[in-house]
């Protein structure tokens, strides 16, 4: 039986990498891709997602328009990281048009797909959690119907990559992250910023990965050129927790959802999100002392099977 996934994205380069890994696995069925403001405005996210699907010859997968702004805070984007359009500022004149989008909106589609497949769907969130927060507010029983939730976002050591103490996806909509971590009581797995940094891959692997003689590899090399140049700057290297290397952030969460054996070490702890701090708004809070009295605890990823992860990436561009 295939694993059923819904992928919630703000498609920049690393979301594209994650989507391509999911598309390659024969044991995965992607029910739909929901889009949210984040790395770039949602209009770009939609275009980027369709471009990735076209590159993989999978425009049959439904794509849904989601939230255009965070619940309460101001918009933030990652144009300095992924390019202003989210995909390296290398436009494609033959990119698919937005007429291919589903008429149904992302939040309603998410609720419908999960409700029609109770206990079977894993939701993978690689964007700010706005769509997920609205979905659970509209349908409070939604988490009970999910098989699992996989999140790329947050941090476990107060190390920020957007603010002093905040990771991008959670900083982009702290209220949404707070709602999701407090209302989604299904099994929850979180790939934090520090986790992704500590599991970086060598640049030599990245070079080999992109050098494959395939259209998919050429597509990825082109859209990731801007980001690869930027991440080797002194400023970015200071953000890394340990060493340097190729960090396909969002792909870790997606890969974990596909392969239950990928994560080799994790810890289970109650989590929430700080909403008010001058320097800590958007920071994920880990409650090791159980002072929050939360029954639900998330699995915080620590280590992965690196060789298995490399193979998933290599296969995605073949």
pLDDT at res. 65: 98
The verdict on whether 10 is a catalytic residue reads yes
Q: Are strands 121-125 and 148-152 parallel, antiparallel or unpaired?
A: parallel
- For residue 307, give the H/E element and its range: helix 306-316
The whole-chain average pLDDT of the chain stands at 95
Q: State how far the Cα of 213 lies from the Cα of 129, in Å rounded to an integer.
A: 36
Does residue 243 carry a pLDDT above 70? Answer: no
* pLDDT (tens digit per residue) in 151-165: 999 999 988 889 999
pLDDT at res. 229: 86
pLDDT at res. 239: 57
**Which residues sit opposite 75 in a β-bridge?**
none
Does residue 241 carry a pLDDT above 70? Answer: no
* pLDDT (tens digit per residue) in 184-202: 999 999 999 999 999 999 9
Domain 3-316 CATH assignment equals 3.90.245.10:
yes
Tokens of 36: 């949210």
Q: Are strands 148-152 and 188-191 parallel, antiparallel or unpaired?
A: parallel
CB–CB of 220/317 below 8 Å? Answer: yes
* pLDDT (tens digit per residue) in 21-68: 999 999 999 999 999 999 999 999 999 999 999 999 999 999 999 999
* pLDDT (tens digit per residue) in 97-132: 999 999 999 999 999 999 999 999 999 999 999 999
Q: Which of 10, 14, 25, 250 is catalytic?
A: 10
């Amino acid at each position: 039986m295939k694993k059923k996934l819904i992928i919630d994205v703000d498609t920049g380069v690393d979301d594209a990498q994650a989507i391509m890994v999911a598309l390659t696995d024969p044991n995965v069925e992607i029910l739909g891709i929901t889009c949210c403001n984040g790395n770039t405005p949602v209009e770009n996210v939609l275009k980027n997602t369709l471009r990735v699907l076209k590159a993989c010859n999978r425009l049959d997968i439904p794509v849904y328009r989601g939230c255009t702004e965070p619940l309460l805070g101001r918009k933030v984007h990652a144009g300095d990281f992924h390019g202003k359009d989210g995909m390296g500022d290398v436009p494609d004149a033959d990119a698919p048009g937005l007429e291919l989008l589903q008429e149904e909106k992302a939040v309603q589609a998410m609720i419908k797909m999960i409700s029609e497949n109770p206990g079977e769907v894993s939701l993978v969130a690689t964007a700010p959690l706005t769509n997920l927060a609205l979905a659970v507010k509209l349908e409070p029983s939604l988490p009970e119907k999910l098989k699992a939730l996989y999140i790329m976002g947050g941090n476990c050591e107060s190390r920020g990559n957007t603010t002093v103490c905040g990771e991008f996806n959670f900083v982009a909509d702290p209220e949404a992250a707070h709602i999701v971590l407090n209302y989604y009581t299904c099994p929850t797995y979180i790939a934090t910023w520090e986790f992704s940094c500590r599991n970086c891959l060598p640049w030599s692997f990245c070079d080999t990965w992109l050098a494959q003689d395939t259209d998919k590899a050429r597509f990825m090399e082109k859209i990731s050129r801007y980001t690869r140049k930027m991440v080797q700057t002194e400023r970015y290297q200071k953000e890394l927790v340990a060493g340097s290397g190729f960090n396909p952030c969002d792909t870790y969460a997606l890969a974990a959802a596909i392969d239950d054996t990928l994560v080799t070490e994790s810890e289970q702890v109650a989590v929430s999100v700080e909403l008010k701090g001058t320097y800590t708004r958007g920071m994920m809070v880990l409650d090791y002392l159980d002072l929050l009295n939360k029954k639900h605890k998330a699995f915080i990823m620590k280590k992965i099977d690196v060789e298995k992860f490399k193979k998933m990436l290599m296969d995605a561009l073949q």
